[in-house]
Structure 1
Amino acid sequence: MVFVVLDRVAPPPAPATVVEPPVRGPWRALNSPATRVPSHGTHGLGQTHAIDLLLDPTDGSRPRFGSGPQWRAAAEYPAFGRPVHAPLTGTVVRAHDRRRDHRARSGWLSLAYLLLAEGFVRQVAGTRWMVGNHVVVEAPDGTCAVLAHLRRGSLRVRPGDRVTAGQQVAECGNSGNSSEPHLHVQLTDSARLAGSCGRPITVRGGAPDGSDGLPGDDELLGTDAPRVM
């Protein structure tokens, strides 16, 4: 989901950091930096190279946008409650677990309300209201991995904890400025998102042949041909 934030200048060029997959299964990319940069239409909050991942099983269990009611319970989406793993080895520097998981916006009317009303209120309220429940892991080189929109009550870590790449740290939720349960992932140069610079990201084993890669919009993580940005 795009965070509605004031823009900032583009960060300087930097090589992509290779991370471990933060999720397992058929997760589809949305707002991917392999398709456009800045991926979310803004450099604000370090989102230049952020990517959204939505669980999209082949059985069609993920409700399709516009196919039913304007609002749906978050639990109707297969991503809700699925494990989220640390993409980097490092130290947890931020962990927030108090925001509620709200209902998904599954139609144009409810989505417009999210973007024009709720998003504005959350922007004024501050960063935590935008990203919802989240974990930030800082690697030894200072790179910070941000995992956002997590399920309330699901965090398994606290600030100061050491984590290993691939370790489960939380569950996918629908907190913050999110239209449906999904995982928002980004790398930044600071744990303080306001004023941070986004860093390029690529996923280990994201390509069909097992090489490192990143899916573009509507491509499956680790399944379709990747494009690294």
Structure 2
Amino acid sequence: MPVGKLFRRVYRLSWVAFFVLVLLEVTVGLPFAMYWVWLPALISLAILVGASARARRVQRRDPRDPVETEPPVRGRWAALNSPAERTPSHGTHGYGQTYAIDVLAEPAEGGRPGFRALWPLVRRNRDFPAFGEPLYAVADATVVHTEDRQRDHLSRNSLPAVLYLMLVEASLRDIAGVRKVFGNHVVLDLGDGVYAAYGHLQRGSVTVRPGDRVRAGRQIARCGNSGNSTEAHLHFQLMDGPDPDTAVGIPFRWRGIGVPANGEAFVVEKPAPDGMRTP
């Protein structure tokens, strides 16, 4: 097993053990004075957290040239957390996210609900134009992984909701692993050691299964708000392996668009021909 993945598994198990010890103290009176239990546990936890954080930030020093693909969306969208502004774009190399990008549907200027300081705390997904929008294969590919059973939660686009997401929910999702971070997702094998991951998909919207061959432009899912997400959007990235837990990010360019910067709107008008699904 790769060292980084091993560290992350032990890290998650350590947090589970820590919460169990806290529960025992609260429910049956396990005394904090039992330093011979707590001190080694806390020291081990600190070491593992540091080692896990270090492992999450490992990135090759000679990144590959950008891989050009078709865009995964159609219509007018805007970019957020773009690698055109910084890398790693999401603040971590973990889960192969070095060059990941988030895109939000914005049919017209101001066409989606804005951020609110206090109220409403949350919004329904159908208030966001990205929710339910079709997503497309960016190249001829083989489907290697799908997940679409997780619920689409309400938005977190107010200050209290974002703080809750950052301080509580995001940490718990990270402990649970990539499945809870990406939410419903699809991974495609584009060939030549390049894999595309689509995250935060709508529950029940994935139209492909592992082993399927898809053509560029084939609809594979719909945009949702599952996983570690503030509002309905698509998280897209290229990586050098099928497992985001161990993969390294690969830079990309979308044909005819390049890499849109934060806040930059782009339009994809002409869809690629729909592909055929084969066994």
TM-score normalised by the chain length of structure 1: 0.89
The yes-or-no answer on 1:73 pairing with 2:130 is: no
Given candidates 93, 101, 104, the residue that maps to 1:51 is 101
SS in 1 for 2:200: strand
Answer whether contact 1:134 1:147 (CA < 8 A) is retained.
yes
Given candidates 9, 13, 16, the residue that maps to 2:66 is 16
The yes-or-no answer on 1:215 pairing with 2:260 is: yes
Q: 1:127 and 1:195 mapped to 2: Cα distance?
A: 10
Q: 1:179 and 1:167 mapped to 2: Cα distance?
A: 27
Which structure carries more relative contact order (alpha carbon 8 Å, separation 6+)?
1
Q: 2:206 and 2:212 mapped to 1: Cα distance?
A: 12
- Aligned counterparts, 1:111-130, within 5 A: 111-130=162-181
Structure-2 change in CA distance of 1:177 and 1:216 (3 Å): same
Q: 2:235 and 2:266 mapped to 1: Cα distance?
A: 13
SS in 2 for 1:113: helix
Q: 2:217 and 2:107 mapped to 1: Cα distance?
A: 21
Q: 1:142 and 1:222 mapped to 2: Cα distance?
A: 29
The yes-or-no answer on 1:175 pairing with 2:226 is: yes
Corresponding residue for 1:209?
none
Answer whether contact 1:214 1:221 (CA < 8 A) is retained.
no
AA at the equivalent of 1:115: M
- C-alpha deviation, 1:92, in angstroms: 0.2
Given candidates 138, 145, 155, the residue that maps to 2:206 is 155
Given candidates 51, 60, 64, the residue that maps to 2:110 is 60
Corresponding residue for 1:134?
185
Q: 1:54 and 1:88 mapped to 2: Cα distance?
A: 21
- C-alpha deviation, 1:195, in angstroms: 1.6
In the TM superposition, what whole-angstrom CA distance separates every residue of 1:140-163 from its partner, at most 9, and x where no partner exists? 212000000000010000000001
Corresponding residue for 1:188?
239
SS in 2 for 1:156: coil
The yes-or-no answer on 1:98 pairing with 2:139 is: no
Answer whether contact 2:112 2:127 (CA < 8 A) is retained.
yes
AA at the equivalent of 1:20: E
The yes-or-no answer on 1:36 pairing with 2:36 is: no
Q: 1:222 and 1:71 mapped to 2: Cα distance?
A: 28
Report which of the two has the higher share of helix: 2
Q: 2:81 and 2:137 mapped to 1: Cα distance?
A: 20
- C-alpha deviation, 1:60, in angstroms: 3.1
- C-alpha deviation, 1:57, in angstroms: 2.1
Q: 1:183 and 1:89 mapped to 2: Cα distance?
A: 20
Identify the range of structure 1 (52-61 vs 131-140) with the bigger mean alpha-carbon deviation.
52-61
Answer whether contact 2:153 2:225 (CA < 8 A) is retained.
yes
Identity of matched residues, %:
50
Q: 1:177 and 1:153 mapped to 2: Cα distance?
A: 18
- C-alpha deviation, 1:222, in angstroms: 4.5
TM-score normalised by the chain length of structure 2: 0.74
Q: Size of the alignment, in residue pairs?
A: 213
- C-alpha deviation, 1:13, in angstroms: 1.6
Answer whether contact 1:205 1:222 (CA < 8 A) is retained.
no
